């Protein structure tokens, strides 16, 4: 069930105080997302880019975008006003690693607040080339959205990827994405980062394959697995999403292989506070982290 690597106390804290990695922590501690990353480098067939990256969030209005300096300013306020917030995460509104502002924000925050737990979520395309820098800024928790470990299935889910200045489609796109994701997960585990896998449960597309994904990432040393029900839109608008019961059954089927995250709240990329008890609207309203 996940990896059996001994963790030092500092690493243990990255689970014990992270609301998404520990169900216990989610009642006591909070997270603050910094919406500094608007661009994306792939196109998932379930994503309309008018919204937050749905690999981590539910669609709604797009989160506002902050500059790295505004993000640092926000963190200063959050730390003072909401001391139970222990995690700073970057989860969009697009793909964090496709925006240089992500790295700048991580650097600024980590330099001033080295004790805060730093977290990112990513589609994985640029994870291998980003690992060193993420490690340098203290990122110890990485979520990778991985919807297939077979490119034949992956190709039904992603329509194109743009990598090193070139755009790829179809099978080629799925091949590049998968090989980068697997390489990135391996490198993150080697750096002793805690890896969470988000898998979007897409009936008729990857449902028969999800247990396979869970097995594979468990063998690779991922820490936890988060089954996310499809929100039907864009090319998958006609697919009926899994029911809560089906989602639970899928989690139960994956549970023998890897620890399941069952309390994901699908937060906006500008969420602040405890899961399900966000305070961001007041923070954004009352101060000038302005546009
Ligand atoms: Fe949308 Fe996120 Fe996929 Fe990019 S990675 S296309 S933002 S769901
Ligand atoms: Fe945690 Fe899920 Fe919210 Fe991400 S979307 S911060 S995994 S609860």
Q: What does the pLDDT look like over 267-285, one tens digit per residue?
A: 888 889 888 777 765 566 5
Q: What does the pLDDT look like over 125-148, one tens digit per residue?
A: 999 999 999 999 999 999 999 999
Cβ–Cβ under 8 Å, residues 184 and 227:
no
Indicate the DSSP class of residue 93. B
Is residue 291 predicted with pLDDT exceeding 50? Answer: no
The mean pLDDT of 65-81, rounded to a whole number, is: 95
The mean pLDDT of 13-38, rounded to a whole number, is: 87
**Residue bearing the bigger pLDDT, 283 or 34:** 34
Ligand 2 lined by 268 (C-beta under 6 Å): no
Hey, what are 289's tokens?
A: 């982290």
Shortest-distance ligand to the CA of residue 58: 2
| Closest ligand 2 atom number to CA of residue 19 | 1
pLDDT given for residue 289 in this prediction: 45
pLDDT given for residue 285 in this prediction: 54
Ligand 1 lined by 47 (C-beta under 6 Å): yes
From ligand 1's centre to the CA of 12, what distance in Å? 30
Is residue 258 predicted with pLDDT exceeding 50? Answer: yes
Q: Whose CA is nearest to atom 7 of ligand 1?
A: 53
The CA distance from 89 to 103, in Å, is 12
Q: Whose CA is nearest to atom 4 of ligand 1?
A: 40
Hey, what are 265's tokens?
A: 């709240």
Cβ–Cβ under 8 Å, residues 6 and 250:
no
From ligand 1's centre to the CA of 98, what distance in Å? 11
**In the chain, where do the E strands start and end?**
30-33, 42-44, 85-90, 117-122, 139-145, 158-163, 166-169, 194-201, 224-229, 259-260, 272-274, 277-278
Is residue 182 predicted with pLDDT exceeding 50? Answer: yes
The mean pLDDT of 229-243, rounded to a whole number, is: 95
- Distance from the first to the final alpha carbon of the chain: 45
From ligand 2's centre to the CA of 20, what distance in Å? 6
HSE toward the beta carbon, residue 85, CA cutoff 13 A:
26
Cβ–Cβ under 8 Å, residues 75 and 31:
no
Q: Give the rounded percent of residues in the chain with a pLDDT score beyond 70.
A: 94
- State the DSSP H helix or E strand holding residue 184, giving kind and residue range, or none if neither: helix 170-190
pLDDT given for residue 17 in this prediction: 84
Cβ–Cβ under 8 Å, residues 71 and 36:
yes
Q: What does the pLDDT look like over 112-129, one tens digit per residue?
A: 999 999 999 999 999 999
Ligand 2 lined by 265 (C-beta under 6 Å): yes
Is residue 78 predicted with pLDDT exceeding 90? Answer: yes
Ligand 1 lined by 95 (C-beta under 6 Å): yes
Q: Whose CA is nearest to atom 8 of ligand 2?
A: 264
Indicate the DSSP class of residue 41. S
Cβ–Cβ under 8 Å, residues 93 and 62:
yes
Q: Whose CA is nearest to atom 3 of ligand 2?
A: 267
Q: In sequence order, what are the residues at sequence separation of 6 or more whose Cβ sits closer than 8 angstroms to the Cβ of residue 223?
A: 2, 3, 15, 21, 194, 195, 196, 258, 259
- CA distances 48 to 52, 171, 236, Å, are 9, 21, 11
Cβ–Cβ under 8 Å, residues 40 and 98:
yes
**pTM, rounded to two decimals:** 0.92
The CA distance from 291 to 283, in Å, is 14
From ligand 2's centre to the CA of 137, what distance in Å? 21
Is residue 6 predicted with pLDDT exceeding 70? Answer: no
Least confident of 16-30, 33-47, 118-132, 162-176: 16-30
């Amino acid at each position: 069930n996940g990896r059996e690597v001994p963790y030092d106390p500092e690493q243990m804290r990255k689970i014990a105080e992270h609301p998404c990695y520990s169900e216990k922590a989610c009642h006591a501690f909070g997270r603050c997302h910094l919406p500094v990353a608007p661009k994306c480098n792939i196109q998932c067939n379930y994503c309309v880019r008018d919204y937050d990256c749905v690999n981590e969030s539910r669609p709604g209005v797009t989160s506002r975008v902050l500059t790295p300096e505004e993000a640092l300013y926000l963190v200063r306020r959050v730390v003072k006003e909401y001391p139970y917030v222990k995690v700073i995460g970057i989860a969009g509104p697009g793909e964090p690693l496709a925006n240089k502002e992500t790295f700048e924000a991580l650097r600024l925050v980590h330099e001033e607040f080295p004790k805060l737990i730093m977290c990112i979520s990513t589609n994985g395309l640029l994870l291998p080339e980003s690992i060193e820098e993420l490690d340098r800024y203290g990122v110890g928790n990485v979520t990778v959205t991985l919807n297939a470990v077979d490119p034949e299935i992956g190709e039904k889910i992603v329509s194109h990827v743009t990598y090193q200045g070139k755009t790829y489609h179809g099978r080629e796109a799925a091949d590049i994405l998968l090989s980068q994701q697997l390489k990135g997960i391996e490198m993150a585990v080697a750096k002793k980062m805690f890896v969470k896998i988000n898998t979007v449960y897409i009936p008729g597309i990857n449902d028969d394959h999800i247990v396979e994904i869970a097995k594979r990432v468990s063998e690779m040393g991922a820490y936890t697995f988060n089954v996310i029900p499809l929100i039907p839109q864009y090319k998958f608008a006609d697919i009926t999403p899994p029911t809560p019961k089906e989602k639970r059954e899928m989690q139960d089927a994956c549970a023998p292989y890897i620890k399941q995250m069952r309390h994901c709240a699908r937060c906006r990329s500008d969420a602040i506070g405890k899961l399900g008890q966000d305070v961001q609207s007041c923070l954004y309203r009352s101060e000038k982290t302005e546009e």
